[in-house]
Amino acid sequence: MQRQALGHFERMFSAALVSVIFSACGASGGGGSSDDGTDAADGVEATDATDATDAADSADATDGTDAADATDGTDAADATDGTDGSTGELPDCQFQPPLGAKCNPYKQCDSGCASGEICTATIQNGGTRLSCTAAGDVPPAGACDAETGPYCQEGTCIDGECRAFCVDSIDCKNGGSCSQAKGIPGKPTVCGTSQVACDPTAPSEGCPADEACFLNNDATTDCKVPAGAGEFGEPCSSTVADCRPGHICTPSGDGSICAALCSEAAGSCATLCPVGSAAKPVSGGYTACLPGGEPPDSPDLVPCDLLAQDCAGEAQGCYPTQGGTFCLIAGTTSAGNSCAGTNDCKLGAFCFSNGQCVTVCDKSDATNALCETGVNAQCVEIGGGAGYCDE
């Protein structure tokens, strides 16, 4: 009885083995048709990955196993993530590229880009990514458009301005701060709003042909396209570039007027100030020359403290101007939005030199409590212990 059972088992095992062998031969060699995708009649479109000549992951692999067209970076011929040998595996560097970047944007490292290309933020299929692209014509601090151009010579386009990538603030010119860029995957670090170290009393020197050097509200200088052509003594709207080059818009009388700018330290006031004008110290160690007989400040312009916001009027806020910090009628524009005059912005903010409202912060507060992003923001000092949130 046991022998009969054993013989029956052996016959069943043999039949199963023959069936397996027959199936294997049919799948690899040829005739017949099976429903599992190994149909030899079409010979070129196996879908169960058992056909070594034309499996679906073999002709156009996306899992990194195809040596002809992989898209996950393991392909030696057409990888797209920057780790591919033929397109240039990113060289080792102590400053690693941001997560997901196809190149290394930091100037201390080899970018992995070809000659004539830069590692920058590009807009592809509606999204932003760090990748290699042809260098543009716009120099640092110049106006740019990441989507339609003009494009940057180096760095990347942030808020319409070409800015440098940085590892630390020491990489940024004119005391700029280094912080994470919003809106770019991997959050690379870039320099804050650039200021060009130029001389506002010699406005045509050191700036592009269509720009001039102006003194900003925060005592920095910058090359800008003139927003107006206000002459000496003419009214202005307090926009930094509202007056013609060599002048500033400063509070005087019942409003603001264009005043000639000079430097007592450089001895230029005797030649740059019109005869009979009145001198008034302004930010950055410069002097404003007002028309003779003009009062330097209106009685209504009350000095104030940016941090304390100690203006008596409920509708007023404390704002920085080129003549100091004064109580002015508070605007309604929130931080991050466009502005023209310093007090276009809401209470606790002011219009920065890049034409955007920025929030006032306390330089001594390590938590940056006044900034929207807190410790992730940089508080850039503008004087008197106050600063603005670079975030």
pLDDT at 131: 92
Rounded to the nearest angstrom, the gap between the alpha carbon of residue 150 and the centroid of all alpha carbons in its chain is 15
Instruction: Measure the CA–CA gap between 60 and 299, rounded to whole angstroms.
Output: 77
pLDDT at 121: 92
Helix, strand and coil percent figures for the chain, each rounded to 5:
15, 25, 60
pLDDT at 111: 92
**Selection from 36-50, 163-177, 330-344 with the highest mean pLDDT:** 330-344
Backbone angles phi, psi at 152, to 5 degrees: -80, 145
Residue 53 has pLDDT above 50, yes or no: no
pLDDT at 68: 38
| Range name among 7-16, 63-72, 351-360, 372-381 with the lowest pLDDT average | 63-72
**Strand stretches in 2-155, DSSP E:** 117-124, 127-134
Long-range pairs, 222-225, Cβ under 8 A, ≥24 = 222/141, 222/194, 222/195, 222/196, 222/198, 222/353, 223/141, 223/196, 223/198, 224/353
Instruction: Measure the CA–CA gap between 287 and 309, rounded to whole angstroms.
Output: 26
Quote the mean pLDDT of the chain. Answer: 73
Q: What is the DSSP letter of 375?
A: G
Q: What is the pLDDT of residues 288-341, one digit of tens each?
A: 888 875 444 444 578 899 999 998 877 788 988 877 888 887 888 888 888 777
Q: Which residue blocks in 228-339 are alpha helix, DSSP H?
A: 269-272
Q: Is 270 helix (H, G, I), strand (E, B) or coil?
A: helix
pLDDT at 103: 94
**For residue 101, what are the CA distances in angstroms to 80, 96, 115, 142?**
10, 10, 18, 24
Torsion, Cα 60 66 71 73, to 10 degrees, reads -170
Residue 301, both tokens:
């312009």
pLDDT at 193: 64
pLDDT tier, 69 (very low <50, low <70, confident <90, very high otherwise):
very low
Place of tokens 């060009």: 196
**Selection from 91-95, 108-112, 251-255 with the highest mean pLDDT:** 108-112
Residue 222 has pLDDT above 60, yes or no: yes
Backbone angles phi, psi at 376, to 5 degrees: -80, -10
Instruction: Measure the CA–CA gap between 183 and 121, rounded to whole angstroms.
Output: 10
Residue 48 has pLDDT above 80, yes or no: no
Instruction: Measure the CA–CA gap between 76 and 298, rounded to whole angstroms.
Output: 72
Residue 238 has pLDDT above 90, yes or no: no
Place of tokens 């070409």: 162
**For residue 239, what are the CA distances in angstroms to 196, 224, 290?**
18, 12, 17
Residue 169, both tokens:
């603030």
Instruction: Measure the CA–CA gap between 153 and 151, rounded to whole angstroms.
Output: 7
Q: What is the DSSP letter of 91?
A: P
Q: What percent of the chain has pLDDT over 90?
A: 15
